[in-house]
A and B are shown apart, each in its own frame.
Chain A
Amino acid sequence: MRRVLKSLIRLYPKSWRNRYETEFDALLDEVPPTWRTWFDVLGGAMKMQMKSGSWWKAAAAAAVAAVLAGVTFSRPMPDQYRSEAVIQPDKTPLNAETATILSRASLTRLILRENLYEKDRARVPMEDLALRLRNSILIWSDRKDGPRRVRVTAPDAAQAQRTAQRIADAFVDGKAAALIDPANLPTHPDRPPLRFAVQFGLFAGVLVGALFALFNGLKVWKPVAALGVAGTVVGAAASSVVPNIFQGLSVVSCRTSDAAAVRRLIDSRCTRSSFSPICG
């Protein structure tokens, strides 16, 4: 850790290192190598680069700082799993039913029945837990009369699935909707992949560094050119890691006087489970 910290000295301008490197290196031997120290040394390197007019090194330092910040702040965040059930409403809208099912009393019952937030229940008021659960639930639809998706996000995959299923069941039990797709058990946490965080941090860092250089009186064309090059590199890197997606299209002609029946037929056949063998 300390060796990596000391390697950051290389980000300072050469002229500065010629004068201060030995004593700065000695100082870094004495200070604790915490994240705060890392960012302070990186910030110092950026400022010195700005001062010496090396815009691209400043942008590089900003990129390193942004990547480190992204990785640092994303690591302690707990994984979140997302489960989704699909229901077809018997009538639209479902406003009254949704309000009842997502009411504080109803969610409190759900928390107790499913034993949710077991550790937090001793110290957090039930009202706050009900609100937390409410914020983790999203009920939405692509179309006004289309199927509703009940999405639940939770720190545990089984809990997300169970909760989504209970919410969907509540609509079905209340004779307000029919179940099309039961809640799935999520296999991966719902968080942006690390490579995305790194790429985003890199791009943001280069952008911030170049803009900072621009506002510190450096010539305009250099940051603009740097942004162009950086954008190209990041775009190329991103495109190389994103898998190809193939899209199929077929057209079916159906003559009928009941358009809603066709819609219902499509919704009932085109479910997640029917596509899962080929789409994953």
Chain B
Amino acid sequence: MRSGTLYYVTRNNDPALLVLASLAEGDKHGYAMMEDIERFSSIKLGPGTLYGAITRLEESGWIAPVASEDRRQPYTLTALGRKSLENELATLNNVLKTASKRLRHA
């Protein structure tokens, strides 16, 4: 798998998806993302995990840094990132619906 594919970005579980979901609301720097993610998912991302995801997402062109006045670097969701997040959510929705339906009939 190559950089830029869905597999490359999300293969190491959910941090990348959580970062995308956080940035869907607006630009944020690292610590703001960590707090936001903990608020909406109850998952406490560590700094190493967060920056692993940020590195992969930026390499893939799904997020980009925006101008900053201090040492903290805010990121924004790119058009490609927004599209990829929509695709990812559609896939997840499909998985959830299918799993729920199968559970009901099991």
Could you tell me which A residues sit within 8 Å of B by CB distance? 16, 20, 22-28, 30-31, 36-37, 39-45, 47-48
B11 CB to closest chain A CB (Å) equals 12
Q: Please give, as numbers and ranges, the residues of chain A lying within 8 Å of B51 by CB-CB distance.
A: 20, 24, 27, 44
Closest chain A residue to B49 by CB distance? A40
Please state if B30 and A45 are interface contacts (CB–CB under 8 Å).
Answer: no
Closest chain A residue to B72 by CB distance? A26
Give a binary string over B11-54; 1 marks a CB under 8 Å from any A CB, 0 the rest. Answer: 01000000000000000011100100000000000111111101
B43 CB to closest chain A CB (Å) equals 13
Q: Please give, as numbers and ranges, the residues of chain B lying within 8 Å of A41 by CB-CB distance.
A: 46-48
Is B93 engaged at the interface, CB distance under 8 Å to the other chain?
Answer: no
A158 CB to closest chain B CB (Å) equals 44
Give a binary string over B64-106; 1 marks a CB under 8 Å from any A CB, 0 the rest. Answer: 0000001111000000000000000000000000000000000
Please state if B47 and A40 are interface contacts (CB–CB under 8 Å).
Answer: yes
- The majority secondary structure among interface residues of chain A is helix
> A27-B47, A40-B46 known; 5 other A-B pairs, CB under 8 Å?
A16-B55, A26-B29, A26-B30, A39-B46, A44-B48
A45–B49 alpha-carbon span in the complex (Å): 10
Residue from A23, A36, A45, A48 in contact with B72 in the complex, judged by beta carbons closer than 8 Å: A23
Q: Please give, as numbers and ranges, the residues of chain A lying within 8 Å of B49 by CB-CB distance.
A: 40, 43-44
Closest chain A residue to B73 by CB distance? A23
A166–B80 alpha-carbon span in the complex (Å): 76
A-B pairs with beta carbons under 8 Å apart, 21 shown: A20-B54, A22-B73, A24-B30, A25-B71, A26-B70, A26-B72, A27-B29, A27-B30, A27-B31, A27-B47, A27-B50, A31-B46, A37-B46, A37-B47, A41-B47, A42-B48, A43-B46, A43-B48, A44-B49, A44-B51, A48-B52
